[in-house]
Structure 1
Amino acid sequence: MASVPSLASTVQQRLADALSAALPEAGPADPLLRRSDRADFQANGILALAKKLKGNPRELATQVVAAVDRGDTLQEIEVSGPGFLNVTVTDRAITETLAARAADDRLGVPYNPSAGTTVIDYAQPNVAKEMHVGHLRSAVIGAAMVEILEFTGEKVIRRHHIGDWGTQFGMLIQYLLEHPHELDHKDGERVSGEEAMSSLNRLYKASRALFDSDEEFKARSRDRVVALQSGDEETLALWQRFVDESKIYFYSVFDKLDMEIQDPDVVGESGYNDMLAETCRLLEESGVAVRSEGALCVFFDDVKGPDGNPTPLIVQKSNGGFGYAATDLSAIRDRVGNLAADTLVYVVDVRQSLHFKMVFETARRAGWLDERTQAVQLAFGTVLGADGKPFKTRAGETVRLEDLLDEAVDRATAVVRDKAAKVGLSESEITENGRFVGIGAIKYADLSTSAVRDYKFDLDQMVSLNGDTSVYLQYAYARIRSILRKAGDRVPAAHPELELAPAERALGLHLDRFAETVAEVAAGYEPHKLAAYLYQLASHLTTFYDQCQVLSDENPAEVVENRLLLIELTARTLQQGMALLGIRTPERL
């Protein structure tokens, strides 16, 4: 189905046509329309036109009002202040627009006409290491942006740049070579993520203890790093066992997060090994990078250390080893050259901003990024504890991500169970809904905060039925589904001839904003704006319930059907919006 024009776009076009008709000397002009608290919309563009035409803005505004084709859309246009236009749309226009959205599978959200290919780099755990709370934001924010961009028509390629290379693997591989059964599984036995991580932890601690106490083992481990980097088959086979065991663990954690990770999307640091030498050669030959004290470096005028001297991006160390920069630059070459990406999005901690600023600028100087291909860091802040400091256990250790998710599900299940008797939920529904509510609570708390800001992790608040939480939105959705089940043979239907109550108008006008909100969120990589929209939608719904009964026998059938249309469209918008954030909406809560 063709996309449904929003009321905002219809009003914008009517005013633009009126501007051209009333003030042809101004040429094509933008009314600068925005949503307003004083009316439904306010147009501010006439002030700028008045300066250009050297005219009185109120007089010009009056001319424009006289030229507007109101049709069935515009109820009132009032000149306000120094030349603003306050615009009120008709109830008929609201209902007809909502009916068109309700008839569309995509709720009137158009595909982006300039959609291209985006590679999103997110969810980057490290091989042979436990995932902790610091891995949460990259995974949750990245997964939401994947869903949002794909919904707008973008081709999205997922990339999980796992830490699967480096000197620590010499120690691990050498230990496994000398203790070959440490990662063995019984034939046909399915290993859980917890068991896989337990094996890796045990092996890491044992190999570290030997490395620190045995000089000969330490020497063998360092030789093993050389063998790994030179592609020795036996060494690579053992390295692969660590990667495979770690994936069992990673995937179990992502499964708890209700996120799907596909094997082909996991391209770690090792995936770019064959490109590193060429990346360095291209940078040196083009003069983008220069040798400084034996290292290959890129310098920047605006990046200086505490001593005031330039701080370079080191692409290759003086001993010939490659740093993160070489891998990140090689990844850019691959993503632009082989994957044909128009946009590269990196969902990475804000503390790495300087590194990525230098990497992106180096890639631009080398010609791997240009005006047609951009790279963006979607930087995120830190998860804080209740004390406002980085989230730690009471013992001062980093919080394991699995423990956090399990506790959220436990708390949420208690909340669900508390109300389960009223709804008649079975034990299996309580368990499933507890998972959806708990994981949704964590995701929403993260996504409802601007990514770059730190946020406090407060599980009690996250699973609260009141306030700006996912549970509030999930209950709003479930309540609508309950009403629709009770409606019996009364079905949602549009009645444009009806006058709308103030709460109906407010809810309808907010529903009309869904498409523009999705477009804004996709363009700016700002999922928190979608979360804010959904919370406001649920708040409008609460006001609507207080003021407008839906299934009252005292209401004419037309009023009941029109209100059923309103709440059904609200439910579908909540469900679609939450799905874009990676959050489930149970039918009964």
Structure 2
Amino acid sequence: MSAVLSALATQLSSAVTAAFGAQYGVLDPELRAATRPEFGHYQTNLALRLAQPLGQSPRAVAEQLVAALDLSGLCEPVQIAGPGFINLTLLPSVLAAGVNEPVVFAPRGERVVVDYSQPNVAKQMHVGHLRSTVIGDALCNVLRAVGYEVIRQNHVGDWGTQFGMMVEQVLFEGLVVESLDIEGLQQLYQRGRKHFDAEGNFGDLARARVVLLQSGDEETLAIWRQMVEVSLVEFDRIYAQLGSPLTRADVVGESAYNDRLQAVVDDLTVAGLLTESGGALCAFLPGFAGRDGSPLPVIVRKSDGGFGYSATDLAAVRHRVDDLHANRIVYVVDHRQALHFQQIFALCRAAGWLPATIPAEHVAFGTVLGKDGKPFKTRAGDTIRLASLLDGATARAQALLDERETLEEGARAAVAAAVGIGAIKYADLSSDRINDYVFDLDRMVAMTGNTGPYLQYAHARLSRLLSKAGETPGLVTVLEQPAEQRLALLLSGFGDTVIQVAVTLQPHRLCTYLFEVAAALSTFYETCPVLTSEGEVRASRIALCAATRRVVHDGLGLLGISAPDAM
């Protein structure tokens, strides 16, 4: 809570204590932003909540509360509205101080490990990886901004039975893997799959190759490493195009935990948490049952002696607690994995690997849909490649900029990439992440409405105005007009909004805030001339524009979106 809101809440609690006794002073004032300008800046329904226990009318309670309230130096005279709502209007000087005061977050001395993106080796990144990467980047940015030390972990799928099949297919065809690109690797997988299904002898060889891979056979490992390298080159390219800060240093693939899997089984066995079921070793945890009431197992070791992804995820949690010393663990994975992570976290806590003091959170998200309301796919029914999606958005933005002809031709390509990629990111982040959303590129790149380009244009317009002003912005000192006050009030809430996102892990809260700022800016433009004003009013409005530009720039940056100076 900002200093001003904290001060208001403290004074309201003191007034309740003075008027009605300390037993009521502990009530949260529940200050909320006023819904309409005529209601001031903040409202509280404290009087309505006190009316019943005090046996008085809400209006009478409000009058006594206001009489005991001292908000001198903070607010205009307090107003009582309707049945007993208390409306608070901050003094212009207080609003100005809220804008001029820099947002500073103190280091927390805690480490957060964030697992996100998670593409698979030998497969192209697709639309399903978009959400995890975009949401994960935004959350990492926000958590770092509020003072956490953030460690990014990209849990790449680079291990498992399919690689035995692919290595065997490489040897069968006599291929040089380095000559392939990611599309070639994906086609190799498809050919290997057909070969595996059609020829029993090849299937036996592929299964034997998995054993060789897991046991460290050098020839097998060399081919596997080549596949990983080709894939990482492509992932690097996509991350660069997307503007993601993920690097190879953040990649910790499934293979990294291979040597730890047996210890997972051994330790869970010693702890009495594993049961043999059909030859597999499973954990049956209380509270997890199917629709028929039968227990739902966590299969830690399969009946053939191999390890599934549950064992890998258990080892990953141990690594993050024991080796990375995480104080908080976050997984950005789609909602379909909710049960899996509930079981993994529960088993880790039962084993003592995940102390109760360390929160582990599954940041679930919904599905990207097409305009038909079904999962977004190509006309042929294939999953849409992320690369083509990003290229398409950039091309659409380029076409719009070409129509406007407001930029030099040489600058358009860079701005088109910023606008196109930003449009996709903002559309993904602006709705509650747990919801599905429709991928509609025409709506995403629109310059009006709650879109990324609308916010980017607001930033560019402010940059142009400040450039024309030709002076170094000072401090906000004059806030006489309602539009000025509304914009200043919103700007002072930037820090609180960022903290909310860090606590809730819901980036759409920041998007909603930035859109409100941009809308308030538009009203400010209409009613408060800037460059044609004079004296202190002009200087103050230039300072207000500079503060707004800073908030929009920093807010978009936290979302992982570029803020061009011209569009």
For the superposition of Structure 1 and Structure 2, which TM-score range results when normalised by the shorter chain? over 0.9
Render the CA deviation track for 1:45-90: whole Å, top value 9, x for unaligned.
3455565666665445434323333332211212345543211111
Render the CA deviation track for 1:339-385: whole Å, top value 9, x for unaligned.
11121111111111111111111112112223211111111111101
Which of 437, 441, 457 is the equivalent residue of 1:455?
A: 437
The aligned residue for residue 552 of structure 2 is: 574
Q: For 1:311, what is the secondary structure of its paired residue?
A: strand
Distance 2:358 2:490 in 1: 35
- Partner amino acid for 2:284? F
Whether 1:150 aligns to 2:131 is: no
The aligned residue for residue 220 of structure 1 is: 205
Which of 538, 549, 553 is the equivalent residue of 1:560?
A: 538
The aligned residue for residue 584 of structure 1 is: 562
Which of 465, 468, 476 is the equivalent residue of 1:483?
A: 465
The aligned residue for residue 401 of structure 1 is: 386
The aligned residue for residue 418 of structure 1 is: 403
Distance 1:464 1:25 in 2: 54
* TM-score normalised over the length of structure 1: 0.90
The correspondence of residues 193-272 of structure 1 with structure 2, limited to 5 A, is 196-272=181-257
Whether 1:32 aligns to 2:30 is: yes
Render the CA deviation track for 1:375-413: whole Å, top value 9, x for unaligned.
111111111011011111111111111111100000011
Seen in structure 2, the aligned counterparts of structure 1 residues 30 and 426 have a Cα distance that, compared at 3 Å, is same
User: How much does 1:419 deviate?
Assistant: 1.9
The aligned residue for residue 159 of structure 2 is: 165
Distance 1:499 1:573 in 2: 18
Distance 1:306 1:86 in 2: 51
The aligned residue for residue 11 of structure 1 is: 8
Seen in structure 2, the aligned counterparts of structure 1 residues 29 and 382 have a Cα distance that, compared at 3 Å, is closer
Q: For 1:252, what is the secondary structure of its paired residue?
A: helix
Distance 2:549 2:538 in 1: 16
The aligned residue for residue 111 of structure 1 is: 106
Instruction: Decide whether the 8 Å contact of 1:7 with 1:94 is kept in 2.
Output: no
Distance 2:382 2:230 in 1: 24
Instruction: Decide whether the 8 Å contact of 1:76 with 1:89 is kept in 2.
Output: no
The aligned residue for residue 127 of structure 1 is: 121
Distance 2:193 2:313 in 1: 28
Distance 1:399 1:367 in 2: 41
Render the CA deviation track for 1:218-263: whole Å, top value 9, x for unaligned.
3222211111112223322221111111100111111111112222
* TM-score normalised over the length of structure 2: 0.94
Distance 1:290 1:51 in 2: 56
Which of 453, 466, 473 is the equivalent residue of 2:455?
A: 473
Whether 1:431 aligns to 2:390 is: no
Instruction: Decide whether the 8 Å contact of 2:106 with 2:146 is kept in 1.
Output: yes
User: How much does 1:533 deviate?
Assistant: 0.7
Q: For 2:29, what is the secondary structure of its paired residue?
A: coil
Render the CA deviation track for 1:71-130: whole Å, top value 9, x for unaligned.
322112123455432111111211122122xxx3xxx243375x6211111010000111
Whether 1:42 aligns to 2:39 is: no
The aligned residue for residue 516 of structure 1 is: 496
Q: For 2:43, what is the secondary structure of its paired residue?
A: strand
The aligned residue for residue 305 of structure 1 is: 290
The aligned residue for residue 506 of structure 1 is: 486
Distance 2:384 2:218 in 1: 37
Distance 1:85 1:210 in 2: 74
Instruction: Decide whether the 8 Å contact of 2:32 with 2:43 is kept in 1.
Output: yes
The aligned residue for residue 473 of structure 2 is: 492
- Partner amino acid for 1:343? R
Distance 2:55 2:317 in 1: 51
Distance 1:386 1:455 in 2: 9
Seen in structure 2, the aligned counterparts of structure 1 residues 337 and 55 have a Cα distance that, compared at 3 Å, is farther
Q: For 1:297, what is the secondary structure of its paired residue?
A: strand
- Partner amino acid for 2:32? R
Instruction: Decide whether the 8 Å contact of 1:109 with 1:514 is kept in 2.
Output: no
In structure 2, runs of 5+ residues without a counterpart are: none
Instruction: Decide whether the 8 Å contact of 2:280 with 2:303 is kept in 1.
Output: yes
Instruction: Decide whether the 8 Å contact of 1:350 with 1:379 is kept in 2.
Output: yes
Aligned residues: 563
Instruction: Decide whether the 8 Å contact of 2:178 with 2:230 is kept in 1.
Output: no
- Partner amino acid for 1:229? Q
Seen in structure 2, the aligned counterparts of structure 1 residues 173 and 388 have a Cα distance that, compared at 3 Å, is same
Instruction: Decide whether the 8 Å contact of 2:285 with 2:347 is kept in 1.
Output: no
Instruction: Decide whether the 8 Å contact of 2:8 with 2:71 is kept in 1.
Output: no
Distance 2:409 2:262 in 1: 58
- Partner amino acid for 2:474? A
The correspondence of residues 63-142 of structure 1 with structure 2, limited to 5 A, is 63-81=64-82, 83-100=84-101, 104=102, 108-111=103-106, 113=108, 116-142=110-136
Distance 1:451 1:171 in 2: 36
Instruction: Decide whether the 8 Å contact of 1:111 with 1:153 is kept in 2.
Output: yes
Q: For 1:346, what is the secondary structure of its paired residue?
A: strand
Distance 1:219 1:499 in 2: 78
Distance 2:479 2:306 in 1: 73
Distance 2:442 2:128 in 1: 20
